[in-house]
Amino acid sequence: MIKGIASDLDGTLIDTAKLLAKAWEDAFKSEGVEVGYNELYNNTKGIASKDIIRRYKRESGPEDLIRIKEKRKANFLNLVKEGNQLLYPETLKVISEIREQGIKFAISTSMARDLLDKVLALSGLAKAVDAVVSSDDVKNGKPEPDIFLEAFRRINVNPKDGIVVGDSENDIIPGKKIGAFTVFISREGDKSSIADANITDLEELLKLL
């Protein structure tokens, strides 16, 4: 019996992948580092901010990490203020129905806490879920399972009684490691060969339950 769900955030519950890629692109450009939008969009999903910075601006020190993250945060919030929507249409409805069934719902995200709190407030997700775990809350980011283990701990659910949902192999791999049922979501119809189930929107998650 499923008792809890630990879900990725970006690309799963909210549609911010394009906005974040643009925010990263402009942040790196201001640092004299040219990284293409497509590279950032396709190859940074599920990766912690500090690891993204170190990948493209090598030998970055603590001050570099803080400065570039702040630039990325400001760029992202400016894009949101321009009227870009965050939530997928079905997100809040599906989460509400899942919790009405007595199933706990946690968010497990690689998004840094400095930006995460803003996103949760702007989207309305802050009050809609039972727990939120950021990459800043654990020692190791995805694809290590720390984020998901901490999420299940906070909602008091054994991972073997839980579901991990995400739009990246960086979500599915750690979900498999901890024995959870894994669900890969792709609104473009892509599939994961290692996930236990593939869906194209969150409504299909309700059918699985």
Tokens of 164: 């991990």
Alpha carbon distance 169, 160 (integer Å): 19
Tens of pLDDT, residues 80-105: 776 557 889 999 999 999 999 999 99
Q: Which domain CATH number covers 47?
A: 1.10.150.240
Instruction: Based on the fold, state whether residues 76 and 115 are members of the same structural domain.
Output: no
What is the predicted pLDDT for the residue at 60? Answer: 82
Q: Assign 175 a pLDDT band (cuts: 50, 70, 90).
A: very high
Tell me which residue of 8, 3, 6, 4 sits closest to 168, measured CA to CA: 8
Instruction: Based on the fold, state whether residues 143 and 194 are members of the same structural domain.
Output: yes
Instruction: Based on the fold, state whether residues 107 and 76 are members of the same structural domain.
Output: no
Q: Point out the domain boundary residue: 81, 97, 130.
A: 81
**Coil, strand, or helix at residue 199?**
strand
Tokens of 59: 């030998």
Q: Point out the domain boundary residue: 41, 58, 81.
A: 81
Instruction: Based on the fold, state whether residues 106 and 21 are members of the same structural domain.
Output: no
- Using DSSP bridges, classify how beta strands 197-199 and 162-166 pair: parallel, antiparallel or unpaired: unpaired
Instruction: Based on the fold, state whether residues 28 and 9 are members of the same structural domain.
Output: no
Instruction: Based on the fold, state whether residues 192 and 94 are members of the same structural domain.
Output: yes
What is the predicted pLDDT for the residue at 88? Answer: 92
Residue type, 150: E
Question: Residue 116 burial (CB < 10 Å; 0-12/13-18/19+)?
Answer: buried
What is the predicted pLDDT for the residue at 84? Answer: 58
Alpha carbon distance 43, 25 (integer Å): 13
Q: Phi/psi of residue 127, each to 5°?
A: -100, 0
pTM above threshold 0.85: no
The packing angle between helices 146-154 and 169-177, to 10°, is 70
What is the predicted pLDDT for the residue at 116? Answer: 87
Instruction: Based on the fold, state whether residues 109 and 163 are members of the same structural domain.
Output: yes
Count of domains in the chain? 2
Instruction: Based on the fold, state whether residues 73 and 127 are members of the same structural domain.
Output: no
Q: Which domain CATH number covers 136?
A: 3.40.50.1000
Instruction: Based on the fold, state whether residues 166 and 179 are members of the same structural domain.
Output: yes
What is the predicted pLDDT for the residue at 83? Answer: 54
Please answer whether residues 93 and 205 qualify as being in contact, where contact means their C-beta atoms are separated by less than 8 angstroms.
no
Q: How would you classify residue 179: left for phi > 0, otherwise alpha for psi between -120 and 50, otherwise beta?
A: left
What is the predicted pLDDT for the residue at 169? Answer: 93
Tens of pLDDT, residues 99-144: 999 999 999 998 888 788 888 888 889 999 999 999 899 999 899 9
What is the predicted pLDDT for the residue at 58? Answer: 83
Tens of pLDDT, residues 26-72: 999 999 999 999 999 888 877 888 899 999 998 888 898 999 999 99
Tokens of 56: 């493209």
What is the predicted pLDDT for the residue at 42? Answer: 87
Q: Identify the H or E element spanning 94.
A: helix 91-100
Between 169 and 47, residue with greater pLDDT: 169
Residue type, 45: K
Dihedral (Cα; 161, 156, 134, 184), 10-degree rounding: 10
Instruction: Based on the fold, state whether residues 22 and 97 are members of the same structural domain.
Output: no
Instruction: Based on the fold, state whether residues 144 and 65 are members of the same structural domain.
Output: no
> In which domain, by residue range, is 53 found?
17-81
